[in-house]
Chains A and B, each alone.
Chain A
Amino acid sequence: MTAPVLPGEPLRHADEVRSGPGTYVRGKSVVAAVMGHARTTPAADDADDKRPLVEVIKGPVVTGDATGRGGGTLLPEVGDEVFARVLRINPRQVWCEIVAVNGKAVNDASGFQGIVRQQDVRATEIDKVDMYESFLPADVIRAKVLSLGDQRSYYLTTARNELGVVQAKSPFTGEPMVPVSWQEMMCPSTQVKVSRKVAKVD
């Protein structure tokens, strides 16, 4: 049923089959566009187009499970839960680097840039948020994608109980701190409390 194919290889006549992922139509042929194995699947019974679908499957990565949205590059979408590392801070917003989307690591070396704006840090008293009391560079935060943002970065929000800082290092010893309330984390050896917008993790 499957045979190895290479880019440019004609698979079937374009009248007989539909062109699926990994193929394209050149003249009257459906042609492979990537290296992999060609697979023909019959059309669904209720489909308008009764021709079988030809696709080329790339190996060995089993795509389609990264975000549950079909294969390809892992891109954050609105509503996705992401983990991000804080890079830079100013009184209005923090810049961070998205390292995982829906629990899957982003493989792009540079990651994606995200921004948490002051009004998106928490749900209540949003005007009184002090960014420096909420995040610091090197914190790892859990956030939701609010919008695709501007050209450079995604807008993220931490305005929910389960969102916020999940890992922060102690400014004194560098060891991971322990959350004590939704606004504070504590250094385990010096017992000093530091303020953060802490995520509630079960």
Chain B
Amino acid sequence: MEYVSLEGLRLDGRRPKETRRMRCELTALPGSDGSAVFELGNTKVLAAVHGPHECRRPSERLEDRLLVKCEVSMAAFSTGERRRRTKGDRRTNELSTFVRRCIETCVSAELLARSQLDVSIQVLQADGGVRAAAVNAAVLAIVDAGIPMQDTMACCSAGYLDDTPLLDLNYMEEGGGGPEVHVAYMPQMDRVVAIVTENKASVDVFERAHELALDGCRVASKLMRERMIEHAKHLWAMRQVTLRVKDDETGDEAKPISMET
């Protein structure tokens, strides 16, 4: 199959160093402490954060740091053919471990000792780049939950097909069997958190794909930061309204609870 045409266009019409359209939304699920949706082209991932709360199992409690639990599930309708997916198969387990370890690196875990943070990730549509979208959604949800962290984080993938480094592979390109590099990156600290490579890659190919993926991370991070700033402004405006309402109340806020007898 030809992944890059003579004109230099990919299967979905992108140039090799182009990402798909990204979109994100914070506080997508009001029932949770923090939540976010991240879309990468047709890939769509929902992340929800619960906590920090007391550890559900005291035996798992860590005395010096936060316990992070991460669960990934794929919706039955997330791929082309409908399929009931069991929880905890090899693929989703590996994905949840990856997301969990990225989160553990970026949150200030020592500030939240003896508590637990649950991150649930639901893949609504899978069209390649699920790993990157899952990390990005999780990071946004954690920021939304107000968990202290060292820096924000962004994740992006890059591959190498038809002797061309390609940014942000879609489902078809992921099936092409070429090397694929996922990079998670903290933009302000300029620090790479995690790298995962699938399929064999020579050092030369790896380095080119890695550089490209890093550029993708910067693009994703810029977009995410813009969206977060917008959300922070919105929350600030809401806060000002709340404060004004409180001022208007004439101090009879704490009414004793009475029982009619």
Contacts and interface: CB of A to CB of B under 8 A. Distances in A.
B149 A5 contact: no
A89 interface: no
B106 to A, nearest CB: 8
Contacts of A94: none
Contacts of A2: 236
15 contacts: A2-B236, A7-B148, A8-B149, A9-B188, A24-B148, A26-B150, A34-B147, A35-B143, A57-B239, A58-B146, A59-B238, A110-B53, A112-B54, A167-B259, A178-B261
Contact of B152 (A7, A166, A167, A179): A7
Interface of B: 50, 52-54, 56, 58, 108, 143-144, 146-152, 186-189, 225, 228-229, 231-233, 235-236, 238-239, 241-243, 246, 254, 256-259, 261
Given A34-B149, A178-B261, A201-B257, 13 more contacts: A4-B233, A6-B225, A7-B143, A9-B188, A26-B150, A57-B239, A59-B236, A60-B236, A62-B239, A73-B53, A103-B254, A109-B50, A179-B259
A33 B148 contact: yes
A151 interface: yes
A193 interface: no
B259 A201 contact: yes
A100 to B, nearest CB: 9
Interface of A: 2, 4-10, 22, 24, 26, 31, 33-37, 57-62, 73, 103, 108-110, 112, 151-152, 166-167, 178-179, 201-202
Contacts of B189: 8, 26
A112 B55 CA distance: 11
SS class of chain B's interface: helix, strand, loop or mixed? mixed
B206 to A, nearest CB: 27
A2 B233 CA distance: 10
Contacts of A10: 188
B63 to A, nearest CB: 12
Nearest to B186: A8
A179 B261 contact: yes
A7 B239 contact: no
A133 B62 CA distance: 41
B152 A8 contact: yes
Contacts of A33: 108, 148-150
A151 B55 CA distance: 11
Contacts of A5: 232
Contacts of A60: 235-236, 238-239, 241-242
A62 B243 contact: yes
Those 9 A-B pairs whose CB atoms lie nearest each other, nearest first: A8-B151, A59-B235, A60-B238, A8-B188, A33-B148, A59-B239, A4-B232, A60-B239, A7-B149
A66 to B, nearest CB: 12
A20 B26 CA distance: 26
B232 A35 contact: yes
Contact of B229 (A4, A58, A62): A4
Contacts of B232: 4-6, 35-37, 59
B2 to A, nearest CB: 41
B148 A62 contact: no
Nearest to A180: B261
B149 to A, nearest CB: 5
Most buried by B among A9, A24, A60, A62: A60
B83 to A, nearest CB: 31
B225 A108 contact: no
Nearest to B257: A103
